[in-house]
Amino acid sequence: MTVSSTLRDAAFRWIADDPDPATRAELQDVVARALGGEPGRAEELADRMAGPLEFGTAGLRGPVRAGPNGMNVAVVVRTTAGVAAWLTAHGHAGGAVVVGRDARHGSEAFAAAAAEVLTAAGFAVKTLPEPLPTPLVAYAVKQLGAVAGIQITASHNPPADNGYKLYDGTGGQIVPPSDGEIERAISAAPAAVSVPRSPGAEVIDPRAGYLTEVAALPRGTARDVRIAATALHGVGAETLRTAFERAGFTDVHLVAEQSTPDPGFPTVAFPNPEEPGATDLLLDLASTVDADLAVALDPDADRCALGVREPGGTWRMLRGDETGVLLGAHILSTLDRTVTPDPLVATTIVSSSMLGEIAKAQGARYAETLTGFKWLVRAGEGLVFAYEEALGLCVNPSFVRDKDGIAAAVLAAGLAATLKAEGRTIPEVLDELFRRHGVHLTDQVSLRVTDLAVRGEIMARLRAAPPTSLAGTAVTLEDLLPDADVLRLTGEGLRVVVRPSGTEPKLKAYLQAAQPPSEDLAAARESTSARLVALRADVEQLLS
């Protein structure tokens, strides 16, 4: 590939408009090498200039690098100018905006740039004092009555990435049509070098109020539980430790190698508790200290994974659906119905439907939404619990309208302590739920792609020629367009949901096999597991 004059001129214009000398020099180097014919550099330049990064309901995510198709100060400045214009257009000029950050590469500079743009635009900007968990921004927006909140984070993405997450005045993530309005406002923003920026943001620390609220979450009085925990090199370790202590859980052991924020994530191949190997150090520690519960946060601490010891003594991490139904059942069974007489629990269309069975048995309302907490927190009045299978848990919607890994961990610690006092375990409780509400097993098939167009091609093929049976069971197709690019295949005791990921270059298929309640749990689990294995094989073939 050679560098066209159009590509060269676009790169030179971006360099001239970039206010950051470091990324100006970075892109100049790429241009020089590309023009010099260095192998692969022309393709790299084309990719960097292929932007801008798309602003969706999850905000921005991308590699930290120079150019419009990356996360850098220039992109953050123009994005924030667009957000400021959008807020002003909706009557929020001069309102408070909370700005926080994690500890990834570039986060400090990006948060500072966002705060300066908003301050210059006349907003009352409140910045957090250091890298802190994402739920604290969601909490501060609601507590302060702010008109928006921004967290610089890429959550559990690879180390090279960073991102920009936006909350609206409800304290929840934005939903359509706000994303489209903001994207158009970003497109209309001037070059980054011309966007006014001013210092003067007020530093606030919302931890005291947040921790007071979290400390009140555990049900019951039992506190005797030993916990092993990890922050996976993210920003959650100290807030998690303090939250446990404030709630009365003092026997806590952190994975030392992963407790200090490190944007390189040196001990894990991928900083996501769902990924194989990511929690190996945690489970080793849990075994060594003879823990009762293992807890893994993702790097920005909005997700929580639980680990438990099986009857044979081995440790394993629970799937997101197992944790979701476990904590959902716990909340419903301990809820004060005089305070919340008509509770609502919610999950997404890709998560286990078992929560619906539990809600029915408890006399609670149940809702399924499209994927993402932006929809879950808007599921309806009286929401007391929401979860998504990707380790997202909201056990505290009254003060955080988003997933909150720290709050979920504290609630789970209370459950583990209560069960320990009763001589029971979490695996035993999960078995009881399966006996009472039916075995529901879930799995996922993820197809990672290098060309995003492949995802659309596969979705189009499935729409044109859907399968008529899976795992030997007749299935029917439901297409959720235009509301969402989602296909749902259902049959007796089977469900498959296929969708492009909103945050990763993947096409995902979410599988469920279920059967009615049975006293013979071992046989029910075995037959359901066999159906799930057959379903997975068919879906893998379908997506190949």
Rounded to an integer, what distance in angstroms lies between the CA atom of residue 169 and that of residue 141? 7
CB of 3 within 8 A of CB of 34?
yes
CB of 185 within 8 A of CB of 174?
no
Q: Which residue has the tokens 């309640």?
A: 517
372 torsion bin: left (phi>0), alpha (psi -120 to 50), beta (else): left
DSSP E strands in 70-195: the ranges are: 96-101, 124-127, 148-152, 161-168
Would you call 323 exposed, middle or buried from its count of C-beta atoms within 10 A (0-12, 13-18, 19+)? Answer: buried
Buried/exposed code over 80-119 (b: 16+ C-beta within 10 A; e: otherwise): bbbbbbbbbeeebeebbbbbbbbbbbbbebbbbbbbbbbb
Rounded to an integer, what distance in angstroms lies between the CA atom of residue 301 and that of residue 120? 31
Tokens standing for 351?
């998560």
- Secondary structure class of 227 (helix, strand, coil): strand
- Secondary structure class of 357 (helix, strand, coil): helix
- Secondary structure class of 45 (helix, strand, coil): helix
Tokens standing for 191?
């070059």
DSSP-derived secondary structure for 415-439: HHHHHHHHT--HHHHHHHHHHHH-E
CB of 128 within 8 A of CB of 206?
yes
Buried/exposed code over 401-439 (b: 16+ C-beta within 10 A; e: otherwise): bbbbbbbbbbbbbbbbbbbbeeeebbbebbbebbeebbb
Tokens standing for 494?
């089977």
Tokens standing for 143?
């507590």
Residues in the chain: 544
Give the sheet arrangement for strand 344-348, strand by strand: 365-369, 344-348, 383-388, 392-394
Where do runs of H (alpha helix) occur along 222-291?
A: 237-246, 280-289
Catalytic residue among 155, 259, 351, 353: 155
CA-wise closest residue to 498 among 513, 514, 480, 473: 480
What radius of gyration, in Å, describes the C-alpha atoms of the chain?
A: 24
Active site (annotated) includes residue 155: yes
322 torsion bin: left (phi>0), alpha (psi -120 to 50), beta (else): alpha
CA-wise closest residue to 261 among 230, 301, 233, 223: 233
438 torsion bin: left (phi>0), alpha (psi -120 to 50), beta (else): left
The catalytic residue positions are 155
